[in-house]
Structure 1
């Protein structure tokens, strides 16, 4: 996925041209994956730029680092202000993706990371549209399993954790699929490499629990709330690979993916092979919400201008 970065980034408290935001090759995060990141969407509705669930993202951003005793040397309010100021500095009036991340800097080859390890915070952004085809994508169940809390905290959005996602994605692409689906160590459905997964059976929809190594996604949480408010029965429960084959509809949720339908799984049609009615309804409602056309959910949005 190619993108064009905006001119300015926020780096350690200052708005600077992107070419001046540099780190040395001895940076700890480059060697050991000691970086924490978030993906945040902002939507331009022709009148203002609205950041979706900014507070929830910043809270998770901080909590991810706590799993590894990494210090984030800015308050949540300072980070939120930095993000909105960056949007203004770049004069962003397009829907975009915002990537804040913090990482351990000069710390030698020491694996004993403590709160005293030096960290840096950077934020960049770029215009962004659809990650996937909203008319539906194909997916295949990966031979690679999602790691579990028995080895690595699954709720930490750490750079190093996503090597698992990279290898699953590589496998999927080699087989001709658009995306992968990972199972947990017990063989239950977990999630996609960068998205949560929902299945629809009849009038009910399900998504795996975090005990299946699924991320407690912010978009996942939004969809659960939207579904219930819309009168659908939405719940969290474990289900296995066979349930994917029996599902009437399947869709992914995530900041970058938004709501993305899966119309084929392991080369078999999901339902009739087109976007299902419940998925369509959730997609439409989600779009209205992020574009600030639903006042009931306006508290999820932060206006930039």
Structure 2
């Protein structure tokens, strides 16, 4: 995986500053306890200019995650959305991956932060290609079912996109790569299919599309929701239901999806070929519909594309003062 392509500027606590100046103290609470929530968002170079995909939905989920962890983000949703657009513009990016991150800052060292401990916020935007490797959206990836399970209900909330949750994903991904796979798939506490290290999973059987339900310890992915909407537009039946591990081995097609990964076909699971061992027709049709949103072939009837060139708010322009 390529190293981060650092841009010139970053938005940090209401100011746009040089990338290298966005630093934190080593005793920052989030560094010790994983007390952060974040989003991954993509901006695309569309025929009408650079647009951020489902920005409002992502920022809403950021605030939902913060609420679950009782973190009071000291900016409005509109201010954060505006900051996302401004940092893309400031760095002159046509294509970008955005990372808004709210975290418990420097204060007390107790597990429960002191009341005066600040909630800090950063918004980064930078170029980032295919998460699972160049060409994998066409050629597919090999995955392995992990020995690590996803978090059980009422342990840590998997519906929150929290920094600490991703230690689970790191274990799954590291194990997969040790075994020669591109990515790992995890089971839930009932030994049913949950999700990848950082992606939701879909299975195709007899032209019906299946995906694990929210009760399978998954993150309610925004790309997952997009796929379900587009698949129904294409006439496919989509079912959210529990999926047994062996169903992966006899699927006609499998694909992973997420903001970083976008939509990636799975060609083999645990060394067993999926279908024909290459991208299948259902996956390809959904990819075409999805990427058509950004090249103009799929009309954005849902209002998912948020143009970057909207006038910036006085709040963000004040960051230059």
Specify the TM-score bucket, using the shorter chain as the normaliser: over 0.9
Moved more, 140-149 or 115-124: 115-124
Q: Is the 8 A contact 1:51 1:303 kept in 2?
A: yes
Distance in 1 of aligned mates of 2:82 and 2:284:
35
Distance in 2 of aligned mates of 1:126 and 1:274:
31
Where 2:268 maps in the other structure, the secondary structure is strand
Counterparts in 2 of 1:47 and 1:75: CA distance versus 1, 3 Å: same
Distance in 2 of aligned mates of 1:50 and 1:298:
14
| Equivalent in the alignment of 1:71 | 72
Q: TM-score, normalised by structure 1?
A: 0.97
Between the two proteins, the alignment pairs up a number of residues equal to: 304
Distance in 2 of aligned mates of 1:197 and 1:116:
41
Counterparts in 2 of 1:15 and 1:292: CA distance versus 1, 3 Å: farther
Q: Is the 8 A contact 1:70 1:113 kept in 2?
A: no
CA RMSD for the aligned pairs? 1.3
Q: Where do residues 1-305 of structure 1 align in structure 2 (5 Å cutoff)?
A: 1=1, 2-45=3-46, 47-93=48-94, 95-113=95-113, 117-132=117-132, 133-134=136-137, 135-297=139-301, 299-305=303-309
Q: Is the 8 A contact 1:289 1:298 kept in 2?
A: no
Q: 1:60 Cα deviation (Å)?
A: 0.1
Q: 1:116 Cα deviation (Å)?
A: 5.3
Q: TM-score, normalised by structure 2?
A: 0.92
Distance in 1 of aligned mates of 2:298 and 2:272:
36
Where 2:24 maps in the other structure, the secondary structure is coil
Where 2:147 maps in the other structure, the secondary structure is strand
Counterparts in 2 of 1:113 and 1:68: CA distance versus 1, 3 Å: farther
Segments of 5+ residues of structure 2 without an aligned counterpart are: 310-321
Where 1:252 maps in the other structure, the secondary structure is strand
Q: Is the 8 A contact 2:108 2:114 kept in 1?
A: no
